[in-house]
Structure 1
Amino acid sequence: MKGFALDPRLENDSVSIMVTGLCDLRLSRDARWPWLILVPRRAGITEIFELTPLDQVLLAFETELVAKALKEITGATKINVGALGNIVRQLHVHIIARFEGDANWPGPVWGFGRAEPYEDGKRDEFIAKLREALSS
């Protein structure tokens, strides 16, 4: 973790929920979709293949755990997982719950409309449910 610093855009657009073995698990501030972001706490990494083999396994494991918990607590139609990095180069994995009829179903979430902030109570309730699902 030496030298790790979170990209300012990720810092601004999301809130940390918890630190896992490898990643900072974050919640997007856009309430239109239950949208989580895993950021491996490694300096200078932009691609999955740049991680050590062990870190690649940890990232896959943590992605699966978070995706499963997100599906469990939301009942989503589909869980989208992606690591694009075209704008924010720091390696991060998006895990997004999608529902038929959501704000841009079945299109992508990126670049669609304007972000809508969470109400504090709803955000805190969602985070508590997620933490509980991840701890079981």
Structure 2
Amino acid sequence: MYRIHPQLVNDGIWVGDFSLSTLLLINDAQYPWFVLVPRREDVSEVFQLDEDDRQQLLNESCWLAEALKDAFSAHKINIAALGNMVPQLHVHHIVRYRDDPAWPAPVWGKLPAVPYTEDELKDCIKRLQQVLTANLVYAERFR
């Protein structure tokens, strides 16, 4: 049975679902930081997905990255599937700015997370909803 790794559940806020992946928002208001988690059991690497799922993950990643660039006027979108701490396949999509608190270094471990306030969370998701209008079914709380 497919389940999202407890660390991702702890760190993330469920935003919605693409046809393959669940979309989470990492609860750190310092960066718009989203994670795609393919709903497949026992997969830790992209190459373990079948060919159709690999293509779908790439499509979802591109849809998300383009939406984030537009919604947040990003200078750069960092996309990574590290899995060093969480073995379940998941792909980070992090909006970066030249003046963000970690620039130009990676965001991991740079600063303690700053949780979203309810207003910040609503604003973040609203910005995404304005540009990501197809392919993602938003969680009930964001409809």
Give the alignment's TM-score, normalised by structure 2: 0.91
1:20-39 matches, cutoff 5 A: 20-39=18-37
Note if contact 2:20-2:53 (Cα within 8 Å) is conserved in structure 1.
yes
Task: Give the RMSD, CA atoms, in angstroms.
Answer: 0.8
Tell me by how many angstroms 1:131 deviates. 2.4
In the other structure, the counterpart of 1:46 is: 44
Note if contact 2:2-2:39 (Cα within 8 Å) is conserved in structure 1.
yes
Work out which of the residue numbers 93, 112, 123 in structure 1 matches 2:91. Answer: 93
What stretches of structure 1 move > 2 A for 4+ residues in a row? none
Determine whether 1:59 maps to 2:57: yes
Which amino acid is the alignment partner of residue 55 of structure 1?
D
Tell me by how many angstroms 1:30 deviates. 0.8
Q: What is the percent sequence identity of the aligned residues?
A: 41
Gaps of 5+ in 1: none
Aligned residues: 134
Which amino acid is the alignment partner of residue 83 of structure 2?
G
Work out which of the residue numbers 92, 103, 107 in structure 2 matches 1:105. Answer: 103
In the other structure, the counterpart of 1:11 is: 9
Gaps of 5+ in 2: 135-143
Give the alignment's TM-score, normalised by structure 1: 0.96
